[in-house]
Amino acid sequence: MKIEHLKKYLVLGILFVFPIVVYLFFATGVNNFAKLPVLTKSIDTVDNWKSLNGENIKFNNQISVLCFWGDDIELRKSDGFNLNQKIYKRFYEFKDFQFVVVVSEGNQELIEKYKIELSQGVGTNLVNWKFIFGNEIQIKNLFNSLNSSDNLSELYSSSKVYIIDKEGNLRGRDDDEDNLNGRMFGYNSSSVAEINNKMVDDVKVILAEYRLALKKNNSFRIK
């Protein structure tokens, strides 16, 4: 009898505590549920790009972290470990959250090997790491469609990564004290400090935005 009562109180405790934990998780964002600003509307799609396993990768209906590795995979490896540890590991269980990594055509074998290293390094499921492959023109066009103040290297690579919303818009900051005119288009994945101090917070904000919108829509339908 005591065990049954214990189970009952345990279930009630979980039901009471879990919503509070979820609230505190999202409430740590400095924007306090404010929307992450749209800096560029409707960037180029990647619907017809080649992927590692033949999957059709899209921005539509996904919150994406967009990375440009080009032909500079060795240099970007450490950035990948930073992102996997600080961002992906925290949020990969959200079904509408993905990483989209742009790589130059012909590097498929290198990426296969790197995925093994990445998985062993942190021990996370890499199902939402999506690698897509394009030629020079495709990569340049996609990067330019961000309309950011950042630049690609000669190897079509960048340490900057970008948050793309479910409508294919570039999200970022328009009041960042460390950037010209306050506009922060991307996050430096080589900097653990910037990932921790800015990107983690902004990913929380955009995840909260969509979940609150979904909750609101569901409440409206019930009424």
User: What whole-number distance in Å separates Cα of residue 65 and Cα of residue 68?
Assistant: 10
CA distance readout (Å), 175 to 31, 36, 65, 172, 181: 11, 11, 20, 9, 8
CB 104 within 8 A of CB 185: no
3-state DSSP: the chain helix, strand, coil percent, rounded to 5? 45, 15, 35
Tokens of 24: 């505190």
Residues in a beta bridge with 65: 99, 163
Q: How do the pLDDT tens digits run along the chain, 223 residues long?
A: 455 555 555 655 555 544 444 444 444 444 444 789 999 999 999 999 999 989 999 999 999 999 999 999 999 999 999 999 999 999 999 999 999 999 999 999 999 999 988 888 666 788 999 999 999 999 999 999 999 999 999 999 999 999 999 999 999 999 999 987 999 999 999 999 999 999 999 999 999 999 887 665 554 444 4
Structural domain that includes position 8: 1-30
Residue 158 identity: S
Domain total for the chain?
2
Residue 111, domain CATH = 3.40.30.10
Q: 0.85 exceeded by the pTM?
A: no
Same domain, 79 and 21: no
